[in-house]
């Protein structure tokens, strides 16, 4: 008998009124090479039995399908590197998903992909299954910066990958970029933006590098080898907003820019606090203010699915204050803004809102607060201040 970790019983969470889950996240934790800044749950495939992993994902879906109506409007395959799965395993997973899920209402199916992990044949398989949006991890177009970031692809390989995505005719293609990384000058960032704009993607995500605990970059940061200063990062942010705005991209969330009709529906639902089902090792679910996290260990996840058909490590009710904190932090980052009603039970909130309005960090749009350009540079601080 394998060593089975303690598993809580399957959740009996309250669900949405029609008991239908509309947003599904699937975590694929494998990467060929581990980037030194990355804090997600991921690892190299090693000797993982991929067929068993795919079956474990399907088993989890079956378990949840017996508890909820799974009729997703959005599906998001994140990781890790979902595009690393072979055609054989993807094909089997898609087949099982089509059997288990009601996909009649599906509007968006996103796949995160890295250069060097797919072929035209694999892309065709994804297209045929219903994938409509691919997010390509480019990060930089400069070989020197890719080396610093520990990426395993060259600029040419990223360009070829982008062209393959276009040839496969995905309705939306996103390019992921990072800025303010060690050794990156403002002119390098300008060049990354220009090269990306020239490709004409539908969506661009731009992440300000942060030094997360338990990463190689964090160790170097702690030793003083790397530095971060919000004032130094501000020109990168300003340049990005200005240049992408002029190129026709709508900065609808601090790190996200879309051409009309290409906003991420999955992410928008997450920011708005919709219920989410997460499948796979380390995946988080939030349903009816109850949250659980799957075992962040692929081998144990597979074992648990084989023997218990569940893999959540803990189930906890989200307190009202935790819920409000999340809503404020996430909604404030969007161009829809933070609904003022979120603050209505917080003592002294009116005065704090007035202070932020006066400082010019937010403006009022109907019954919501929206960050101004200066506010976007201080989003976390503004959120913390409004919460009191
Ligand atoms: S490829 Fe993505 S998920 Fe994998 S280590 Fe790099 S940043 Fe993390």
Ligand 1 atom closest to the CA of 38, numbered from 1: 8
Structurally, the chain folds into a number of domains equal to: 2
Residue 241 sits in the same domain as residue 340 = no
Residue 93 reports pLDDT greater than 90: yes
Q: How far apart are CA 119 and CA 98, in angstroms?
A: 23
Whole-angstrom distance, CA of residue 34 vs CA of residue 271: 28
* Domain extent at residue 382: 319-388
For ligand 1, what atom is nearest to the CA of residue 37?
Answer: 7
Q: What is the DSSP string of 126-176?
A: HHHHT--EEEEEEE-S-HHHHHHTT-S--HHHHHHHHHHHHHTT-SEEEEE
pLDDT above 60 (res 178):
yes
**Pair (79, 187) in one structural domain:** yes
How far apart (Å, rounded) are the C-alpha atoms in residues 189 and 183?
11
Among residues 271, 292, 307, which one ends one of the domains?
Answer: 271
Of the pLDDT bands very low, low, confident and very high (cuts 50, 70, 90), residue 205 is: very high
Residue 51 lies in a domain: yes
Q: Do 101 and 240 fall into the same domain?
A: yes
Residues 262 and 324 in one domain: no
pLDDT (0 to 100) of residue 113: 97
- H helix intervals, the chain: 50-65, 87-100, 120-129, 143-148, 155-167, 186-199, 216-222, 230-246, 265-271, 298-307, 320-331, 349-359, 373-377, 379-387
The token pair at 89 is 């395993």
Helix (H) or strand (E) holding 257: strand 256-258
Please indicate, yes or no, whether residues 134 and 43 belong to a single structural domain of this protein: yes
- pLDDT of amino acid 199: 98
Residues 86 and 24 in one domain: yes
The answer to whether residue 198 is domain-embedded is: yes
Q: What per-residue confidence (pLDDT) applies to 20? A: 82
140 CA from centroid of ligand 1 (Å): 14
Q: Do 235 and 336 lie in a common domain?
A: no
* CATH for 166: 3.20.20.70
Q: At what angle do helices 87-100 and 50-65 cross, to 10 degrees?
A: 10
Our answer on whether the CB atom of 136 is closer than 6 Å to any ligand 1 atom is no
Residue with tokens 């949006």: 133
- Any domain includes 165: yes
Closest residue by Cα to atom 2, ligand 1, is 80
We report the CATH number of the domain holding residue 384 as: 1.10.10
Residue whose pair of structure tokens reads 């309705």 in the numeric block: 171
Q: Is the pLDDT of residue 14 over 50?
A: no
Which of 205, 240, 271 terminates a domain? The answer is: 271
Share of the chain above pLDDT 90, in %: 92
The verdict on the CB of residue 40 being under 6 Å from ligand 1 is: yes
Identify the pLDDT of residue 19.
Answer: 62
- Percentage of residues in the chain having pLDDT higher than 70: 95
Residue 277, domain member (yes or no)? no
Rounded to 10°, the helix 87-100/120-129 angle is 0
Find out whether the beta carbon of 42 lies less than 6 Å from any atom of ligand 1: yes
* Residue 307, in any domain of the structure: no
Question: What local confidence, expressed as pLDDT, does residue 5 receive?
Answer: 35
Domain shared by 376 and 259, yes or no: no
Residue finishing a domain among 237, 271, 305: 271
- Spell out the residues 6+ positions from residue 340 whose beta carbon is closer than 8 angstroms to its own: 353, 364, 367, 368, 369
Inside any domain, residue 68: yes
Q: Does any ligand 1 atom lie closer than 6 A to the CB of residue 82? A: no
Report the chain's C-alpha Rg in angstroms: 21
* Ligand 1 pocket mutation, candidates 35, 36, 148, criterion most atoms within 8 A of CB: 35
Mean pLDDT, range 75-79, rounded to an integer: 97
Q: How far, in Å, from the CA of 50 to the mean position of ligand 1? A: 19
- Of the pLDDT bands very low, low, confident and very high (cuts 50, 70, 90), residue 230 is confident
Residues 119 and 186 in one domain: yes
User: Bigger pLDDT: 160 or 231?
Assistant: 160
């Amino acid at each position: 008998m394998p060593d089975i970790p303690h598993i809580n019983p399957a959740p009996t969470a309250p669900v949405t009124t029609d008991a239908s889950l509309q947003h599904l996240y699937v975590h694929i934790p494998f990467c060929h090479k581990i980037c030194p800044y990355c804090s997600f749950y991921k690892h190299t495939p090693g000797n993982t039995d991929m067929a068993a992993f795919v079956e474990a994902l399907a088993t989890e879906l079956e378990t949840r399908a017996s508890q909820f109506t799974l009729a997703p409007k959005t599906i998001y395959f994140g990781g890790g590197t979902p595009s690393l799965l072979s055609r054989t395993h993807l094909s089997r997973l898609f087949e099982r998903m089509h059997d288990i899920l009601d996909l009649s209402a599906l509007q968006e199916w996103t796949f995160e992909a890295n250069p060097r992990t797919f072929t035209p044949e694999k892309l065709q398989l994804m297209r045929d299954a219903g994938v409509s949006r691919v997010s390509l991890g480019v990060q930089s177009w400069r070989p020197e910066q890719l080396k610093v970031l520990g990426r395993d692809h060259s600029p040419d390989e990223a360009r070829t990958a982008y062209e393959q995505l276009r040839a496969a005719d995905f309705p939306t293609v996103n390019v992921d970029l990072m800025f303010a990384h060690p050794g990156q000058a403002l002119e390098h960032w300008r060049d990354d933006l220009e090269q990306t704009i020239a490709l004409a993607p539908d969506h661009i995500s731009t992440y300000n590098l942060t030094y997360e605990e338990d990463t190689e970059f964090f160790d170097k940061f702690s030793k003083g080898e790397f530095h971060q200063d919000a004032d130094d990062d501000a020109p990168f942010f300003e340049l990005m907003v200005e240049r992408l705005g002029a190129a026709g991209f709508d900065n609808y969330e601090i790190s996200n820019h879309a051409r009309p009709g290409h906003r991420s529906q999955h992410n928008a639902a997450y920011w708005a606090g919709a219920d989410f089902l997460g499948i796979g090792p380390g995946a988080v679910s939030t349903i009816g203010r109850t949250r659980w996290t799957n075992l962040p260990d692929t081998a144990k996840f597979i074992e648990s699915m084989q023997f218990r058909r569940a893999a959540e490590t803990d189930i906890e009710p989200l307190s009202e204050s935790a819920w409000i904190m999340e809503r404020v932090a996430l909604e404030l980052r969007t161009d829809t803004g933070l609904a003022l009603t979120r603050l209505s039970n917080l003592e002294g909130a009116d005065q704090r809102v007035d202070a932020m309005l006066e400082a010019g960090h937010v403006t009022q749009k109907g019954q919501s607060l929206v960050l101004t350009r200066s506010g976007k540079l201080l989003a976390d601080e503004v959120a913390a201040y409004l919460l009191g």
